[in-house]
Amino acid sequence: MQPWRSGERTGPGAASPQHRSPQYSYFQNWTTHLDEENFYFNFCNLKKAKDRKITFLCFQVEGASTFSKGVSSNQIGGLHVELSFLSWFENNLLSHAQGQYQVTWYLSWSPCCNCAQEVAKFLATNRNVKLTIFIARLYYPERRQNQVGLRQLVSQGVMMKAMSLQDFSQCWEVFVDNHGSMFKPWENLDENYSWQAGNLDQILRGSWNLLKEETFCLHFNNQRRLPKPHPRRRWYLCYQLMSPRGDLLDKGCLQSKKKRHPEIRLICRILSMRLDQAQRYQLCCYLSWSPCLQCAQELEKFASKHKNLGVHIYTARLYCHWLRYFQKGLYLLWKYQVLVTVMGLQEFDDCWKIFVDQEKPFPAWPKLQQCSDKIQNRLDRILKVWSLNDLNDALSDLSLRQ
């Protein structure tokens, strides 16, 4: 059962980089404590949290010569509370005193994708700020963009965890006007915590949308012919995107859908992440079939426009390699420095461990490496022939100009 709530988070929806604007240099309705009723209602870690649209943030800032704490929430027509905090923090603390800062957040909802990206950028610029986030509930965890946002935060050194009974008790003691009373756990708190923590762990490890064992062994099998009867082998693409620091930002498995090859779907997915153009990223892809000419052309255009993204393609088989039409696609990728390598035993094993929902070691089929070597030799010959043809054409063109 997926968590849900009625409507999106309070605020304009898309968090913008205007968090440094003077008009947002303070928290709206910033208080030192939260009343008991608000805490119990908004921080309850339900799997299905109806009518809880507002995100509450309890914060604590510790520095060499400063200590601050408080509670705030999203306001209608204002920025999300995470960005409002950044504006206040930058204008009131960072601009007045240097040194190391330890910031702790207790959030009723995890950050949306836009807020996560902005916070990650802020931390990348301000290395003297360390952030720890305790989350009561995950905000639409099935949405890939939200998953990517949380991984971007972790890639910038953010410590993130779901709130346990101990964390709720700590938040109660520090931030709730409790009149000296003890925190009373609600029903199923521990069960809900296990559910939230398990989902968060899956997101941070990127283990959503894995392939089944039989799917991988059929569609990535590099033998020329499979024993009959067997279904048609389709286009599958497994990918992982790494941050400049080598942390996992995103990973997934795609297949052809509605006449769109997975390469095109991947390009659209990467573009939606709005990666920082000033940072260097690595994209590693494992394909069941090498790209067709149209997909190769789109990949070449994409790579040429995004020089900060290194792309390496591993393919199990070459698609219609005997036709010059498809050979041209392979040559274009090589010519414009998009690496294409045939998968060997090591690559199959790596792909199995990363992208397959498996409970056993990779079951290598007979003559796997022999098939791989033959396909790699075939690819090398194609690239060599096309390179010579390209060189001959260039020489002919030069002679005609003289």
The helix (H) or strand (E) run that includes residue 106 is strand 101-109
Tokens at 83, concatenated: 């960005």
Tokens at 279, concatenated: 């940072």
* Whether residue 82 lies in the annotated active site: yes
236 vs 286, 296, 328, CA distance in Å?
8, 15, 21
Q: Residue 315: beta bridge partners?
A: 287, 342
**Phi-psi category of 397—alpha, beta or left, where left has phi over 0 and alpha has psi -120 to 50?**
alpha
Specify whether the CB–CB gap between 57 and 87 falls below 8 A. Answer: no
Q: Residue 73: beta bridge partners?
A: 56
Choosing from 82, 118, 300, 347, the catalytic residue is 82
Long-range contacts of 164-172 (CB under 8 A, 24+ apart): 164/190, 164/193, 164/197, 165/189, 165/190, 165/193, 167/106, 167/134, 168/43, 168/45, 168/136, 171/39, 171/43, 171/58, 171/106, 171/134, 172/39
Half-sphere exposure of 255 (CA within 13 A, CB side): 11
**Which residues carry out catalysis?**
82
